[in-house]
Homo-oligomer: A and B are copies of this chain.
Amino acid sequence: MMKAPTVDDVARVAGVSRQTVSNVVNTPDIVRETTRLRVEAAIAELGYRPHAAARRLRTRRSSTIGIHLDPYAGGIAGVVLDRFVHALTESAGERDMRVLLYAARTAEEEIDRLSDLREGGEVDAVVITGTFHGDPRTGWLNARGLPFVSFGRPWGEDDVEAPAHLWVDVDGAAGTRAATAHLLDVDGVRRVAFLGWPGGSGTGDERERGWRESVGAARGPRWVVEDSVSLARDAVAAGLTADPAVDAIVCASDSLAIGAHLATALAGRPDVRIVGFDNTPAAEALGLSSVEQLPERVASGALELLMGDGNVVAPRAATAGAAHVLVEPRLIVR
């Protein structure tokens, strides 16, 4: 069983004390040059590396970014966040940073975990996800000066143009605008419905806005359900009966789009065009067009906001008027 070389090994090979090895590593200026060269030779020979915990203690930097991972909820919705975590891990690795996961079921529990991580010096910065109106996490983080970026804009909390913290988000309105324009221009549809969630969710309202602002004279009905395949199926079945002229549906999510797909299949209306949102594997498997959030760009945007362009570990603290990155999603046509 091989062990990584320790400071004791270096001291023995160089014929000096542990303290001298430590001085060479931490404060080389105070060490006599001949001694320093002998210790450095031993370090090189043995492949000794100062323990990360020791480096961390000196620099008070952990080279680690924390991110909360929800319990797996089932269904289709979690895929985008998982892709984001994959991409964040890769981008962070390229910058020689690590990603640390922590679990929490509520915002309050998450604050407890953040408190532990901060007090332990275990993270340099955190990424929070799923921001909501009145989210207590952002104020808590700002008050303690722990650098962070949110995946999700600061809904209602302050002005999007001059936010109190860094954020990265996907431009949902641009996504449904592209979907609506494609249906009108390329597919030549006449009456475009919107299938979305009940109002009040910032994300859902944005996605509806993109459809509303671009659909023009082709504006069809607006159907609203919770994010469920079966509820969407029933709503679309009833909607198409009431308004058979609808020949296209822009959906706020792939769950809704799959419900719409089932309803049109059951109603013998395969002519109705459907566009989903999130470009999940389920939509891909069914051959449904969908708006792709580009989680990889969201992840690299989050890291750029936190660290700048360099490879250096230098998370920027949140400041008033902090920057943001808004990623324009891409319509995948199938």
Contact of A269 with B by CB under 8 A: no
Contact of A85 with B by CB under 8 A: yes
Q: How far is the CA of A118 from the CA of B2 in the complex (A)?
A: 11
Contact with B along A25-64 (1 / 0, CB 8 A): 0000000000000000000000001011111110010101
A118 touching B4 in the complex, CB below 8 Å, given contacts A72-B87, A75-B281, A103-B90: yes
Q: Which residues of B contact A75 (CB under 8 A)?
A: 281, 284
The winner among A51, A54, A119, A285 for most chain B CB atoms within 10 A is A285
Contact of A136 with B by CB under 8 A: no
A52 touching B89 in the complex, CB below 8 Å, given contacts A72-B83, A145-B3: no
Contact of A70 with B by CB under 8 A: yes
Contact A89–B62 (Cβ < 8 Å): no
**Nearest Cβ distance between residue A182 and chain B, in whole angstroms?**
22
Within 8 A of B (CB), among A228-255: 229, 255
Q: How many of chain A's residues have a CB under 8 angstroms from any CB in B?
A: 60
Contact of A208 with B by CB under 8 A: no
**Nearest Cβ distance between residue A142 and chain B, in whole angstroms?**
8
Copies of this chain in the oligomer: 2
Contact A98–B100 (Cβ < 8 Å): yes
**Nearest Cβ distance between residue A251 and chain B, in whole angstroms?**
13
Q: Which residues of B contact A143 (CB under 8 A)?
A: 1-2
Contact of A121 with B by CB under 8 A: yes
Contact A285–B49 (Cβ < 8 Å): no
Q: How far is the CA of A93 from the CA of B54 in the complex (A)?
A: 24
Contact of A281 among B54, B69, B280 (CB under 8 A): B280
A119 touching B4 in the complex, CB below 8 Å, given contacts A72-B83, A103-B90, A282-B281: yes
Contact A79–B281 (Cβ < 8 Å): yes
Contact of A86 with B by CB under 8 A: yes
- Top 6 nearest A-B pairs (CB, nearest first) are A52-B120, A282-B282, A93-B103, A53-B56, A1-B145, A72-B86
Q: Which residues of B contact A55 (CB under 8 A)?
A: 120
Closest B residue to A279 using CB positions: B74
Contact of A71 among B4, B90, B99, B121 (CB under 8 A): B90
Q: Which residues of B contact A284 (CB under 8 A)?
A: 74-75
Q: How far is the CA of A258 from the CA of B90 in the complex (A)?
A: 30
- 26 pairs, A vs B, C-beta closer than 8 Å: A2-B143, A3-B145, A51-B60, A52-B121, A53-B57, A53-B62, A53-B121, A69-B89, A70-B86, A71-B90, A72-B295, A72-B296, A74-B281, A76-B285, A79-B79, A89-B101, A90-B103, A93-B102, A98-B102, A99-B100, A99-B101, A255-B285, A281-B281, A282-B282, A282-B285, A282-B286
